[in-house]
């Protein structure tokens, strides 16, 4: 399963959130979709107070890489 196109256009946390939720919609089974949607939401809650722009870009890059891995799994 290929990741969604335009991952390179994700520049901020809201765009990342939307991208990851769209990736979840492509997963094959409902229980898997629910699991990853929950994980995405929890991760955003954990990192909500992050204010270092460099760290935010690291988190975005890693989240997209992780999403690609999940989608190809």
pLDDT tens digits for 21-60? 999 999 999 999 999 999 999 999 999 899 999 999 999 9
Residues 60, 43: contact at Cβ < 8 Å? no
Residues 28, 35: contact at Cβ < 8 Å? no
Domains of the chain: which residue ranges? 11-72
Q: Distance between CA atoms of 64 and 71, rounded to whole angstroms?
A: 10
Query: What is the model's pTM?
Result: 0.83
Tokens of 7: 């991952």
On the 0-12 / 13-18 / 19+ scale of CB atoms within 10 A, 11 is exposed
Residue 17 has φ and ψ, to the nearest 5°, of: -55, -50
């Amino acid at each position: 399963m290929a990741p969604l196109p335009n991952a390179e256009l994700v520049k901020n946390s809201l765009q990342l959130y939307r991208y990851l939720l769209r990736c979840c919609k492509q997963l094959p089974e409902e229980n898997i979709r629910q699991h990853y949607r929950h994980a995405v939401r929890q991760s955003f809650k954990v990192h909500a107070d992050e204010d270092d722009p460099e760290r935010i870009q690291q988190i975005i890059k890693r989240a997209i890489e992780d999403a690609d891995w999940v989608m190809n799994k």
